[in-house]
Amino acid sequence: MSHIPVSVIIAAGGSPDDFHACLESLRSTLGLRDEVVCVMPADRPELRAELRGQTWLRVVDATGPLPWADGLNATRHPIVVFLDGDVVLSAHWLDPVLEAFGDPSVVAAGPRVQHSYGPQQADPPEAAMESAAAFKAYAREWRQEHRGEFLDVDRLGPVCVAIRRDALMIAGGPSLDLPYDELSAQGRIVVAHAALVAHVGSPACGLRQPDPPADAPLLTASLIVKDEEDVLARCLVALRELADEIVVYDTGSTDRSVEIAREHGAKVVEGYWSDHFGDARSRCLQHCSGRWALWVDADEVFAGDARIVRDALRYSENSAFFATIDNREGHEGGAGSSTIYFPRMFRRVRGRIYGRLHEQVVDRITGRSLNGSLLPDLVLDHSGYTRLRGSLKNKAERNLRLATLAAEDVSGLTAVGNLARSQLGSGHYDECIETARRGLEEAQEHTHKVLFLKILADAYITVGRLAEANEIVEDLRKVANTAFTVGEHEVKLRFAEGDYERTLEIIADLPESGANDLLYGVGKGRFAGLQVDALSRLDRPQEAAYHLRRWLKEGQVPIPVARMAQVLGAADGSLAEVAELLPPQNVRGLLFSIAEAPPEAADELLEALWRRYPGEATVLTLAARVGRRVPLIRAMEWSARLRQHGFPDQCTLLALSADHRRTPRERTLAAAIALEMFHDETALPLLNDALTDVPDDLSAGVLEEIRILAPRVSASIELADA
């Protein structure tokens, strides 16, 4: 071979046959000046036997869990190739990889690799993997088809990669996953598409780390956060009995998130954000020590049985467990809820969290999904999809930006699907339809076809193109395997068409619970809001109120607060019923819905909740948010309650007086009352500011009101004027 000389470091691993195949396929691709070092673990004598007579390579003993470091010290060439010991290499695979280094700005390059993760990942057809001859023939055609193709990426995988030695040393040397962040700061990282490598990825591969010792913590809860002070405390409190260790990786909060995490005993890592959820979560995992890891979001609350979950972890041989994630969705929590089943609990050293957006747990080496089963008591209550939380976090636009970047990072229909979903969620409907149509044309797998049809159905319904939505729903009916997959769209479509009787019939025919073709849990409760609204529009108020009360008893908040007032009022009820009907454990979900409700309705419901749960901190927190919008007399009452229970900084009078959406008269009176009633000096600059904004023709009347409501403040004002 006539390429620049390289140092190849092999991490011995796999079965003896796999290791033998790796060595045989490598030897014929080497140049005369290339050097090869094989790092041999002490506990694999059967692999050492495969090296007898292999004089073309050197063997060094592994001294720790990182074979790359041992091998690097025994080599000398400027380009170093790291190679897992259970790969099969195609002819000339090294030439395109080394061709990339003809550009001095390239610091790392790698081939396409079967059973890897990220941009290197390749999926040869089954026929190509039936024999060594079939793979060689396929790889030869692949090389011809992709000759000269290079793609800039932000990282490569751990299985097969070439790196400039000097750049690697500047980056701090080899690490468990190789220091791609530090390498990318020095130059380009590229994939050489013409090179193709097959990877067995067996449990015995040389890159796998040993399980932590038996005396290590059983479970670590891992969170990444940024400006989550409104939800973080509830999340951490719920994790206390479940996790032995909580690690919070902060990506740049400007609120009290870091302080709250420390106050609740979490180990806090003050990190950074790189527009990549998977990377941030993986950096967090580096600080975890548990045998198992649970990935949690700050707006999720563990709602299962901690004892049962921990017992399952102690005795299971699984690599991962699926959690039940109950999502609250929509405006004011009023569009129902959905459930997804997702692998969130996994053996820490076996998994990684991968993906810029809609990240997932995968095998740390191969990128394949970890095997696992549903753990029924691993339940997370997620409020992040409510429109209130979405607006606070600006999730839709952020997700669109990350999905666009992810589609550039990694080819494949999963990235295209995530982009279409993000376009839909952020209101870019025309772009969503175009993306989903393109994905549908390319889709071969059942799940991809279902995904793009579902996205198109939602997009067409949202923009009112109902004829096209009907066509898509019929196409979906032809490929769907479950009633839910079609039913969830047909319900919304018939409601949009104004066919409320048919809407109710479809809801009645759906099972109480189940999963659609994409393994999202969907039940009648998903359509509780549409059911109540359909009955109301059919002028059946008693039935509408009956079903609303039934859903509330079951813990659902199916429609906005203002609509609940209308529905209950039409049946001779009131919002006060909501506080009585909703189970205590579901009150938190209701509280998320109050903040966007009209002030009168929000205040009425908060008052009912206060009577039922006096002194409850979550009620007071919502009162602080709503208080600046309520009438002045009610702001006074909530201010007194907040101060009495230790929340002076949340005083609704101060919030009202600082809110320039309120009239200068209201702001002035609020600040004066806060100063009079509570002697709070922070109200003084607010009072001065508000007084300045009072029009001259109203100032006499405002001062007279201050004399009545805040006589001492009034006297001070008059003295100052004199």
Task: Give me the pLDDT at residue 191, please.
Answer: 96
* Residue found under tokens 């009425």: 604
- How far is 149 from 157, CA to CA, in rounded Å? 19
- Whether the predicted pLDDT of 598 surpasses 70: yes
Give the lowest-confidence range in 248-257, 279-288, 611-620: 611-620
CB contact set of 302 (below 8 Å; sequence gap of 6+):
235, 238, 239, 242, 296, 379, 380, 381
Mean pLDDT value across residues 60-80: 91
If DSSP states are collapsed to H, E and C, what string results for 541-561?
A: HHHHHHHHHHHHHCCCCCCCH
Confidence tier at 425 by pLDDT (50, 70, 90): confident
Strands 300-302 and 372-386, sheet pairing: antiparallel
Q: Determine contact, residues 231/298, Cβ cutoff 8 Å.
A: yes
Residue 394, pLDDT score: 58
- Are 124 and 196 a contacting pair, CB within 8 Å? yes
pLDDT in tens, 197-213: 999 888 888 888 888 99
710 phi, psi to nearest 5 deg: -140, 70
Place 388 in a pLDDT band, splitting at 50, 70 and 90: very low
β-pairing, 320-330 with 372-386?
A: parallel
* Residues above pLDDT 90, as percent of the chain: 62
Closest CA to 668 of 632, 640, 697, 642: 632
* Cα 487 to Cα 510: distance, rounded to the nearest angstrom: 7
pLDDT in tens, 31-44: 989 999 999 999 99
The pLDDT of 133-148, averaged and rounded, is 93
pLDDT of 391 above 50:
no
Look at residues 70, 23, 79 and name the one whose alpha carbon lies nearest to residue 48: 23
Is CATH 3.90.550.10 what the domain over 7-199 is classified as, yes or no?
A: yes
What is each CA distance from 585 to 330, 394, 398, 554, 588, in whole angstroms? 20, 27, 31, 11, 7
* HSE value, Cβ hemisphere, 13 Å, CA-based, for 671: 27
Specify the pairing of strand 267-270 against strand 106-114.
unpaired
Tell me the average pLDDT of the chain.
89
Please state the rounded mean pLDDT for residues 513-536: 84
Mean pLDDT to the nearest integer, 499-520: 87
Q: pLDDT tier at 105 (50, 70, 90 boundaries)?
A: very high
What phi and psi values does residue 454 have, to the nearest 5 degrees?
-65, -40
Tell me, rounded to whole angstroms, the distance of Cα 205 from its chain centroid: 30
Q: Hey, what CATH class is 219-393 in?
A: alpha beta
The helix/strand/coil state of 353 is strand
For residue 226, CA distances in Å to 250, 272, 281 come to 6, 10, 13
Which residues face 338 on adjacent strands? 327
pLDDT of residue 334: 40
Number of residues that make up the chain: 722
532: how many CB neighbours lie within 10 A of its CB?
25
Which has more confidence, 292 or 399?
A: 292
The b-or-e profile of 374-406 (16+ CB within 10 A means b, else e) is ebebbbbbbbbbbbbbbebeebbeebbebbbbb
Task: Report, as an integer, the average pLDDT of 553-568.
Answer: 89
> What is the per-residue pLDDT for 418?
83
Check residue 482 and give its pLDDT.
86
Average pLDDT (713-721) is 72
Looking at residue 629, its pLDDT comes to 86
Q: Is 583 exposed, middle or buried (0-12, 13-18, 19+ CB in 10 A)?
A: exposed
pLDDT tens, residue by residue, 455-501: 999 999 999 999 999 999 999 999 999 888 999 899 999 999 999 99
Structure token digits, residue 649: 């900084």
The torsion angles phi and psi of 98, rounded to 5 degrees, stand at: -75, -25
Q: What pLDDT does 223 receive?
A: 97
Query: What value does the mean pLDDT take over residues 657-663?
Result: 92
Token reading at 445: 């797998």
pLDDT above 50 (res 49): yes
pLDDT in tens, 154-186: 889 889 999 999 999 999 999 878 899 899 999
pLDDT for 722 equals 46
pLDDT band, very low/low/confident/very high, at 524 (cuts 50, 70, 90)? confident
pLDDT in tens, 362-375: 898 888 888 788 89
Residue 560 pLDDT > 90 = no
**Residue 230 banded pLDDT, cuts 50, 70, 90:** confident
Averaged pLDDT, 637-664? 92
pLDDT, tens digit (0-9, with 9 covering 90-100), for 314-345? 999 899 999 988 876 553 334 456 678 889 99
- Give every CB contact of residue 349 below 8 A, 6+ residues apart in sequence: 208, 209, 210, 211, 212, 364
* Structure confidence at residue 290 (pLDDT): 96
- What is the C-alpha separation between 455 and 437, in angstroms, rounded? 9
The angle formed by the CA atoms of residues 134, 137 and 141, to the nearest 5 degrees, is 140
Q: Where in the chain is the domain with CATH 3.90.550.10?
A: 7-199, 219-393
Residue 162 burial (C-beta neighbours within 10 Å; 0-12, 13-18, 19+)? buried
Distant-in-sequence, close-in-space partners of 257: CB < 8 Å, separation ≥ 6: 225, 226, 227, 228, 229, 232, 248, 250, 298
**How far apart, in whole angstroms, are the C-alpha atoms of residue 345 and residue 338?**
20
Instruction: State how beta strands 267-270 and 79-84 pair.
Output: unpaired
Higher-pLDDT residue of 659 and 514 is: 659
Query: Rounded to whole angstroms, how far apart are CA atoms 387 and 384?
Result: 8
Give the Cα separation of 578 and 611 in Å (integer). 12
Rounded to the nearest 10 degrees, the angle between the axes of helix 446-463 and helix 413-425 is: 20
